[in-house]
Amino acid sequence: MAHIQQQRLRVPYKDAAGGRTGGAISFSTADSSLPKSGYTYTVTGPDNITYSNLSSAVAANSFDNTDNKVAGVQTSSDTSYQYFTVNYTPATQTTSLVVDSNSPVKAGSVLASSLGATSATISLPYTDASLSTAGYSYVVKGPNGSNYSTLSSAVAANSLYDATNNTGTTDSSAQVFTVSYVAQYQAAALRYDASGPISAGSTKATASGTTGGTIAFAGVTDSNLASAGYTYTVKYMGTDAPDSTAYTTLSSAVAAHPRYDATANSGSSDASSQVFQITYKTNQYASLFTDSTDTSSNSVLSYSAINETTNGPASSAISFSTTDSQLARSGYSYVVQVLNSAGSVINSYTTLTSAVAAQKYDIPQMQRMQRPTLKCNVSRLFMHHKRLILRTTTMMKTVKRLRQR
């Protein structure tokens, strides 16, 4: 009589079957019930050969012929089971750390990725320190759809690789950690120079926005910064982009530094706001005028009066629209005298150009022009053409007598 043999499928113990020596083995378990998500499997038969599925392993083996007796008496149990072992191999899973496509910085970047086996512990080669970006805060959305304030907390809450069915190193549904950056609060101020003559050290206006945003001082323009009797410059004092330029307008200063900086701030306060400093200087004036008579108190022929006033900040260069070519008169030479506020002559120059080049706005200055009659040329004519001068003198006396009549 054939002996009854029993087989077990180790997964651990999953199923058992009994039959007679040499008979076909049949389990109630089928291949359709063996797959597990995230794993592949093979079956090793009692012949120590590994098969791709249970059906092929069973087909290649039959009940063995062990002598199942106890104390010489045949029993209905098997003293040596034939085992079919199901071997599960975890699939390769993938996780990645990416930046949201709408992020203000690093948009769409893949920061890191890693491979691991199904249900193994996730380990990303990236840290919160690496995520930190000046001027921005961030949140991390885990594969479970929840948001976390740090990468470490997101990974801790999603610590295991999932169990998707994958082939090779390709993951059909990778676990993704998504970083979303948020621009932090930033501030700017328009402030008066602490040593200036107007509103020293006070704040004219403030503005606020977020990192990388456009700076705009609402309601403040160059026209309402203008103050009678003063000129002003605007200097950017921010440490993010040091600039020694003294801009002549607010608009040009802001155009040179149009964006909020990236200091690390919390809430709606900025520990290091960007300052635009307004420096006012009192205007100084200079006047240019001509005399209608020459150094001999005679009227200048074809006299055309010039009376021009210009102004500028202290220590800056003086500039008139009048030029030396406009001052020149046929038959005359001229000097330009610089007078102080008391009317005393400080210096004399042979041209307006040289006079202006030597002067700066510091105290109110009067630039005065006088035209003596042929001052240099008369000396030479007197030496070589004495008669001519005498005739001229006579003619001048005649003119005087006519005037006296």
Report whether 230 contacts 283 (CB < 8 A): yes
Please indicate whether residue 236 or residue 304 has the higher confidence score (pLDDT).
236
Q: What is the mean pLDDT of the chain?
A: 82
SS3 of the chain: CCCEEEEEEECCEEEEEEEECCCECCCCCCHHHCCCCCEEEEEECCCCCEECCHHHHHHCCECCCCCCEECCEECCCCCCCEEEEEEEEECEEEEEEEECCCCCCCCCCEEEEEEEECCCECCCCCCHHHHCECCEEEEEECCCCCEECCHHHHHHHCCECCCCCCECCECCCCEEEEEEEEECEEEEEEEECCCCCCCCCCEEEEEEEECCCECCCCCCCHHHHCCCCEEEEEEECCCCCCCCCCECCHHHHHHHCCECCCCCCCCCCCCCCEEEEEEEEEEEEEEEEECCECCCCCECCCCCCCEEEEEEECCCECCCCCCHHHHCCCCECCEEEEECCCCCEEEEECCHHHHHHCCECCCCEEEEEECCECHHHHHHHHHHCHHHHHHHHHHHHHHHHHHHC
The band of 343, judged by pLDDT with boundaries at 50, 70 and 90, is: confident
Closest CA to 3 of 24, 21, 29: 21
Residue type, 380: R
What is the layout of strands, in order, in the sheet containing 13-20? 13-20, 4-10, 82-90, 39-44, 50-51
Share of the chain above pLDDT 70, in %: 83
The band of 362, judged by pLDDT with boundaries at 50, 70 and 90, is: low
User: Over 80: is that where the pLDDT of 214 sits?
Assistant: yes
User: Over 60: is that where the pLDDT of 395 sits?
Assistant: no
User: Over 70: is that where the pLDDT of 232 sits?
Assistant: yes
322-328 average pLDDT score: 87
Asked which of 89-98, 164-173, 224-233, 390-399 is least confident by mean pLDDT, the reply is: 390-399
The band of 74, judged by pLDDT with boundaries at 50, 70 and 90, is: low
Per-residue confidence (pLDDT) for residue 375, from 0 to 100: 26
122-144 average pLDDT score: 96
171-193 average pLDDT score: 96
CB-neighbour burial class of residue 286 (10 A; exposed 0-12, middle 13-18, buried 19+):
buried
Closest CA to 176 of 129, 139, 141: 141
Residue type, 185: Y
Q: In this structure, is the dihedral angle defined by the CA atoms of residues 153, 157, 159 and 164, taken in order, positive or negative?
A: negative
Asked which of 64-73, 135-144, 182-191, 268-277 is least confident by mean pLDDT, the reply is: 64-73
Q: How far apart are CA 203 and CA 354, in angstroms?
A: 43
Q: What is the pTM of this model?
A: 0.62
Q: Write the pLDDT tens digit of every residue in 240-288.
A: 888 999 999 999 999 999 999 999 998 899 989 999 999 998 887 788 8
